[in-house]
Structure 1
Amino acid sequence: MTSRARRRPSLRTWLLPASQRRTIAELHSDLDLTEGDSASKRSAFWVMLALSSIIATAGVLADSTATVIGAMIIAPLSTPIMGTALGLAQGERRTGLRASGFVLAGSLLAVGIGIGFSALVPGDIDLLANSQIAGRTSPGLLDLAAAIATGFAGAVALSRKDVAAVLPGVAISISLVPPLAVVGVCLGAGSPTLAYGAALLFASNLLALVLAGTLIFAALGYGDEGAAAEGRPRRRASLTVGLLLALVAVPLATNSAFSYLVTVLTARVQTIAQSWVAAVPGASITDVTFVSSAVHVDVQTPGEIPPVDDLLASLTGTLPDGIPVVVTTSLGEQIDAGVVGRD
């Protein structure tokens, strides 16, 4: 039993077999843009970042998922982000700060390109009707969970010789440049609230990637290599990132709870509204949406609909008082039914 336990590989060995372990020098060569042929590295970083930002912004404005995915594939921001994680794991403040500087400058470049593109688009942009924008301005805890898992995967992939090549595929699963493009587009369109939501998504992704990468690099033993021998600075840095991530998680949790509440209320309104139009043959509810503070009920009907006062009365007790209800019919009528809870 004892000999079998001795032969059982540790978690570190299972994640990173010795035969597949990349050296710390190889990691630094890949992740430190100031090491080696720094001019070529930085040139490639800025060119690819600018191109990925242009592609992402164009894909967002065109509401094209395929184009946005293309931007994710070539976006190079994951390199300095993982460089920051490696610097924190080793306690090398300079390495971490240099990498963080590239992340900050690159983020500003992506946002600037988004602002510039939005200024070139003629007419008003219907931001909420664009799925690429709407999907990145209301982040929740599931986005945070995905970012943490991606950080783990990215650090493990970088550490292993046999899977390091799949890192671009890992980058596809987490959105870095597209949220920054959305921030720029929303700012350029004069919608700072939506820009805040996209910035929150990027910030949560960034902090989750850094924290997860730091933990994995340290767990795999890279924290014991390099210049820093003392563990206290590393622990302090990891704690700081963890606290920042916890602060970011608060609005994400709030938004998740709000989204769940809206989903529940939408389903209830759908059921009540369907019962309301059941007396009209061929009539049905095609959509129920919350827009700002109002509930919009879309009705497909061959003729007149029942009195909207009946719908308003049925919704009392289901929706909080004070919510306006708007009914839109397929005949082109838009009826302000009134406000829930007001006689």
Structure 2
Amino acid sequence: MPSGVRARVLPASQRRSLDDLAQDLDLSHGDTVSKRSAFWTMLTLSSVIAAGGVLTDSTATVIGAMIIAPLSTPIMGIALGSVQRRRTGSAKVVLLACALVIAIGAVFSTVLPGSYELLSNSQIASRTSPGIMDLVAALATGFAGAVALARRDVAAVLPGVAIAISLVPPLVVAGVCLGRLAGWLALGALVLFVSNLFALVFGGMVVFAALRHGGPAGREPGRPARRTYAAMTFLFAVVVVPLSANTALTLLLDTWTGRAKAAAEDWLADQPDASVTSVDAKSRTMYIQVRLPGDLPPVQGLLDRLDGQLPDGVPVVVDASRGRSIDAGRVGQ
């Protein structure tokens, strides 16, 4: 970090000491028994709260779990240990914590009925399809959290950081999805968690290195080891590739749904008081919901209008407002 930026972002009068940071972020520093007891207790309780909030689709409950969850502590401990070039055991704690939270989510999934549709739950749907903007927001939040930890005068923003960068809820969602044998949805939730973990560690490494906290004697102070850079580069690739692919897919689906809606509106143009209420792409099928007082016009006219607008072979289902569902066929066939 350039010295001018460091002086403004981390004024010398407000920088916290190494001991202060280690006391807060390193579970192996100081009263380790009390620290670990508090960490595992609050992590378990926050996981249960998050699982309850996810299954009841309660945003307020999930936010409460975000504030209570202590998982960001060992994650930031990884960043501090990397800058100091010493092992703190934080990575092991994070891995065990992830396993615990996922297990709790899987256990809670057993209460769901067999016909439960996971994507009908907004808490699940919003955490199983992350995009590149989620990483951008996470990086900004990671820097905000690191600065709040490194300065004495802005610690009040930490609850906001806990809300902005979700850690426990994606792991709970991954557990719920695994419990329901929805592997791809679980993978999406895990990608979201890993992107948030990367953002916190990266932001912490940059900010803590700017504090010029030294490592053990004989080592260059304030700079992580080369293998740390290699690990972060690998983690970044693991995160950014699926996020970019999912973002591109989302944009493509938005384009296709827009074309399908325009074609459906043209198809119903001659029907009085008819309208297209929604168009959704689910499970490789285009669902077009319409509202009209009379009978539907021939669906072949819709397929003809969709030809060239959507890829050939895409199934089209028309849902009418009276509860009728018509399998219109496949585009281009």
Compute the TM-score of the two structures, normalised by the length of structure 1: 0.93
Letter in 2 for 1:230: E
1:338 to 323, 329, 333: 329
Amino acid at match of 2:275: S
Partner of 2:262: 271
Distance 1:63 1:289 in 2: 21
Residues 189 and 228 (structure 1 numbering): CA distance in 2 closer, same or farther, change over 3 Å?
A: farther
**Is the contact between residue 46 and residue 66 of structure 2 (CA under 8 Å) also seen in structure 1?**
yes
5+ unaligned residues in a row in structure 2: which ranges?
none
8 Å CA contact 2:85, 2:215 repeated in 1: no
Residue in structure 1 matched with residue 42 of structure 2 by the alignment: 48
CA distance in 2, matches of 1:235, 1:171: 30
Which secondary structure state, in structure 2, belongs to the residue aligned with residue 161 of structure 1?
coil
Does structure 1 residue 158 correspond to structure 2 residue 152?
no
Please report the RMSD computed on the Cα atoms of aligned residues, expressed in angstroms: 1.5
Q: Of 275, 285, 300, which residue of structure 2 is paired with 1:284?
A: 275
SS for the counterpart of 2:308 is coil
TM value normalised by structure 2: 0.95
Q: 1:84 aligns with which of 57, 78, 81?
A: 78
Separation in 2, partners of 1:225, 1:165:
29
Q: 1:184 to 1:279 in 2, by over 3 A?
A: same
Residues 300-334 of structure 1: per-residue CA shift (max 9 Å, x gap) = 11111211000000000000101011111112221
Structure 2 residue identity aligned to 1:187: L
Out of 245, 252, 267, the position equivalent to 1:261 is 252
1:25 partnered with 2:19: yes
The answer as to whether partners of 2:102 and 2:172 remain within 8 angstroms in 1 is yes
1:64 and 1:163 map into 2 onto residues whose CA distance is 30
Distance 1:122-1:333 versus aligned 2 partners, 3 A rule: closer
User: Is the contact made by 1:289 and 1:296 (CA closer than 8 Å) also made in structure 2?
Assistant: yes
When structure 1 is superposed on structure 2, of 156-165 and 230-239 the one drifting more is 230-239
Quote the offset at 1:225 in angstroms. Answer: 4.9
Question: Could you tell me which amino acid in structure 2 is paired with residue 173 of structure 1?
Answer: A
Kindly provide the amino acid, as one letter, of the partner of residue 86 in structure 1: L
1:173-184 matches, cutoff 5 A:
173-184=164-175
8 Å CA contact retained: 1:59, 1:65: yes
What residue is the counterpart of 2:56 in the other structure? 62
Residues in 2 aligned to 1:45 and 1:244: alpha-carbon distance in whole angstroms: 25
Contact 1:327 / 1:334 at 8 angstroms: preserved in 2?
yes
Greater mean alpha carbon deviation, residues 238-247 or residues 208-217? 238-247
Q: How many residues align?
A: 330
What SS does the aligned partner of 2:119 have? coil
| Structure 2 CA distance for aligned equivalents of residues 21 and 228 of structure 1 | 24
For 2:116, the aligned partner's letter is I
2:209 pairs with one of 215, 218, 227: 218
CA distance in 2, matches of 1:248, 1:280: 48
Aligned pair 1:13/2:4, yes or no? Answer: no
Equivalence for 2:29: 35
Q: Which residue of 1 aligns with 2:320?
A: 329
- Contact 1:137 1:198 (8 Å CA) reproduced: yes
Unaligned runs of 5+ in 1: 1-8
| Cα separation, partners in 2 of 1:227 and 1:107, compared to 1, 3 Å | farther
1:294 corresponds in structure 2 to 285
